[in-house]
């Protein structure tokens, strides 16, 4: 029953459209745009918040690059990005940045006869596949990692993001950390010059392409893999241990993170140490102006984020996201009170 309920929750959150509006827009509603990685949980939170407060949320799931562009253009109340902005950029634009939730990025494959978790890959092999250096599923590197798997002599069809993507940024950060070849030849960014593959927009697009393409491999946030019944792979982590993508392995990656060490809490969780750590764990961030033109809208958004921190943890866990630690939440809310102010200099957030 629990599995059925969780699947139903995911299905509600994972509409095939890439944005949601929970009511006809009103002056009190909140607008945001950006990362597709957290879209399922933002949709779930928004639905519950609407029922409790009658305040709606219009969120466009357009990718991290699009979210940053829209907040810079001041067309939305908040932007959302899985790639944290640098401190100097936040300062020059006048933005505050804070993390909302964490989750895992997983490789997903479409290979006949292979079920979720039956295939394991390591970072170097994954980097070689996405560079086009490994082109068949029965390559010796894959067979060595999976001696008991029935791997076909089938061409690998690589699927990657075509849009500016924080998921890509975190995926590439991991590959650059484990593969000098990737670091030197492809690098790390929200948008890459991909050596091979089919481009798709958003986590939704990658998930759909992998589902429809035999012999394919892509990378998506874990909730998208589960919702689309995709076959995810296990990974070999930094300690050389085989790990599965679970809330526990995502949490393990964040266990020792020093969130205050980076401007805007911009800590990267890729390839963290620990025997139980999932190596492609990532956080996702919110961007708002410290002195917004529409102070009322930003104040309403902060209420929504505070509510999500306080009441959204169980909903996040149902979708296999990891809530932010209490210590981080307290730090973020203190930052809101200090840094995000109206034209009169008074804080826009004074607690729930």
**What are the mean pLDDT values of the chain's consecutive 10-residue runs (352 residues total)?**
36 43 56 96 96 95 96 98 96 98 97 96 98 98 96 97 95 98 97 97 96 98 92 97 96 90 96 96 97 96 98 94 94 97 95 73
Residue 158 contacts residue 57 (beta carbons within 8 Å) = no
Of 247, 255, 229, 254, the residue nearest 314 (C-alpha): 247
Q: Are residues 213 and 298 in the same domain?
A: no
Q: Are residues 112 and 200 in the same domain?
A: yes
Domain that holds residue 25: 2-103+280-339
Residue 39, in any domain of the structure: yes
- Domain termination site, one of 203, 236, 252: 252
HSE, CB side, 13 Å, CA atoms: give it for residue 286.
Answer: 26
Q: Are residues 99 and 112 in the same domain?
A: no
Q: Are residues 112 and 94 in the same domain?
A: no
Residue 213, in any domain of the structure: yes
Q: Are residues 159 and 86 in the same domain?
A: no
Query: Two tokens at 59?
Result: 């969120």
* Phi, psi of 20, deg, nearest 5: -145, 145
Q: Are residues 132 and 99 in the same domain?
A: no
337 vs 315: CA distance, rounded Å: 26
If phi > 0 it is left, if psi is from -120 to 50 it is alpha, else beta; for residue 197 that is left
CATH number where 190 lies: 3.40.190.10
Q: Are residues 109 and 95 in the same domain?
A: no
Q: Are residues 110 and 248 in the same domain?
A: yes
Residue 201, in any domain of the structure: yes
Instruction: Please state at what angle helix 39-53 crosses helix 2-13, rounded to 10 degrees.
Output: 90
Q: Are residues 125 and 96 in the same domain?
A: no
Q: Are residues 120 and 234 in the same domain?
A: yes
Q: Are residues 242 and 116 in the same domain?
A: yes
Q: What is the pLDDT of residue 29?
A: 84
262 vs 28: CA distance, rounded Å: 33
Q: Are residues 300 and 335 in the same domain?
A: yes
Residue 352, in any domain of the structure: no
60 vs 57: CA distance, rounded Å: 10
Residue 73, in any domain of the structure: yes
Domain tally for the chain? Answer: 2
pTM as predicted: 0.88
Residue 268, in any domain of the structure: no
- Domain termination site, one of 205, 232, 252: 252
């Amino acid at each position: 029953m629990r599995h059925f309920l969780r699947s139903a929750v995911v299905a509600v959150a994972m509409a095939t459209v890439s944005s949601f509006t929970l009511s006809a827009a009103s002056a009190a509603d909140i607008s945001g745009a950006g990362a597709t990685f957290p879209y399922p949980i933002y949709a779930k939170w928004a639905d519950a918040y609407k029922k409790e407060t009658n305040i709606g949320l219009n969120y466009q799931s357009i990718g991290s690059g699009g979210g940053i562009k829209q907040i810079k253009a001041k067309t939305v109340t908040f932007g959302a990005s899985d790639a944290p902005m640098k401190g100097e950029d936040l300062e020059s634009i006048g933005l505050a940045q804070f993390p909302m939730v964490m989750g895992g990025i997983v490789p997903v494959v479409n290979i006949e006869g292979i079920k979720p978790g039956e295939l394991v890959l390591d970072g170097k092999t994954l980097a070689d596949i996405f560079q086009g250096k490994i082109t068949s599923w029965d390559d010796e590197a894959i067979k060595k990692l999976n001696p008991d798997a029935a791997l076909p002599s089938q061409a690998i069809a690589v699927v990657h993001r075509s849009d500016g993507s924080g998921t890509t940024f975190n995926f590439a950060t991991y590959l650059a950390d484990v593969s000098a070849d990737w670091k030197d030849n492809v690098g790390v960014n929200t948008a890459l010059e991909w050596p091979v593959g089919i481009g798709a927009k958003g986590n939704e697009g990658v998930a759909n392409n992998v589902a429809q393409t035999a012999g394919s491999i892509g990378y998506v946030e874990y909730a998208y893999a589960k919702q689309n019944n995709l076959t995810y792979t296990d990974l070999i982590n930094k300690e050389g241990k085989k790990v599965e993508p679970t809330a526990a392995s995502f949490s393990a990656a964040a266990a020792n993170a020093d969130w205050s060490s980076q401007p805007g809490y911009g800590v990267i969780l890729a390839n963290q140490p620990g025997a139980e750590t999932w190596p492609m764990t990532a956080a996702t961030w919110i961007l708002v102006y410290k002195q917004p033109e529409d102070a009322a809208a930003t104040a309403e958004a902060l209420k929504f984020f505070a509510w999500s921190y306080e009441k959204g943890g169980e909903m996040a866990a149902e979708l296999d996201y990891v809530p932010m630690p209490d210590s981080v939440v307290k730090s973020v809310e203190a930052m809101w009170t200090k840094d995000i102010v109206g034209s009169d200099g008074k804080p826009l957030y004074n607690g729930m």
